[in-house]
Amino acid sequence: MGEFVRVEIEDGVATIRLGRPKMNVLNAQMQGEIAEAARQVSADDDVRAVVVYGGEKVFAAGADIKEMAELSYVTMSVRSERLQGFTKALAAVPKPVIAAITGYALGGGLEVALAADFRVAGEGARLGQPEIQLGIIPGAGGTQRLARLVGPARAKDLVFTGRHVKADEALAIGLVDRVVPDADVYAEALKLAERYKNGPAVALRAAKQAIDSGLDVDLDTGLEIERLQFSALFATEDQKIGMKSFVDEGPGKARFTGR
């Protein structure tokens, strides 16, 4: 458990809580703690789904500009690998990950949310990549994950202008998946996580890997990734359980073991 990031596990769902007052500004220490939390929940077989939550007031307001302002190109060329590394670690969690967004998710904060599989936002949430206003561009995955999520033209609009997007627009362009009252964000994210905690863990991991890996390759290569993942699942207990349950009881009644 880090100073600013902690992991709480209850009934198969892990919550990665961001807690650096006041605005969860993502300094280097916090970035490292997020990466470590991601590795922890990845390795824990008791964790079947993950929620990333910044608290009732704010998700994360971006990177620590004071920490970066005077850095040279030489220094940043090294540190930028670590900057991307913490969102890579979160994106690589082999389980469903839901970002529960209240208040601001800006810059690095939005890049954390983009590394999740799903995003639940409060009605008062504001999302954006305002780095251009600092004379730079997103550096923790924003130019890549944002474009893949909402398309290149919308991503360029957000990155070129640095404007903040309200929750309703974020929903309309596919930047978030659900918008709920601010007070209900965490509960709604947990509700979404509940869908997956009793699911076939190996198949869920395979599905996530196939989709994410397939986005980076041509269609034929993606289909081969899918074929290999699909075939491998016939070595699992859950495949036997799921198909037998379907034959004997009908769909949706299997009780999976996660093996």
Q: Which residues are catalytic?
A: 111, 131
Q: How many CB atoms lie within 10 A of CB 240?
A: 13
Cβ–Cβ < 8 Å for 15, 44: no
Cβ–Cβ < 8 Å for 48, 201: yes
Q: Which two tokens stand for residue 1?
A: 């458990």
Q: How many CB atoms lie within 10 A of CB 248?
A: 9
Cα atoms in the Cβ-side hemisphere of radius 13 Å centred on 231: 6
The set of residues, in sequence order, having a beta carbon less than 8 Å from that of 222 and lying 6+ positions away, is: 210, 213, 214, 215
State whether the Cα torsion 104-84-215-95 is positive or negative: negative
The set of residues, in sequence order, having a beta carbon less than 8 Å from that of 120 and lying 6+ positions away, is: 98, 99, 100, 101, 176, 177, 178, 179, 180, 185, 188, 189, 192
The set of residues, in sequence order, having a beta carbon less than 8 Å from that of 64 and lying 6+ positions away, is: 25, 26, 27, 28
Cβ–Cβ < 8 Å for 96, 196: yes
Ordered DSSP codes for 126-140: EEE-GGGGGT----S
The residues with which 99 forms a beta bridge, in sequence order, are: 52, 119
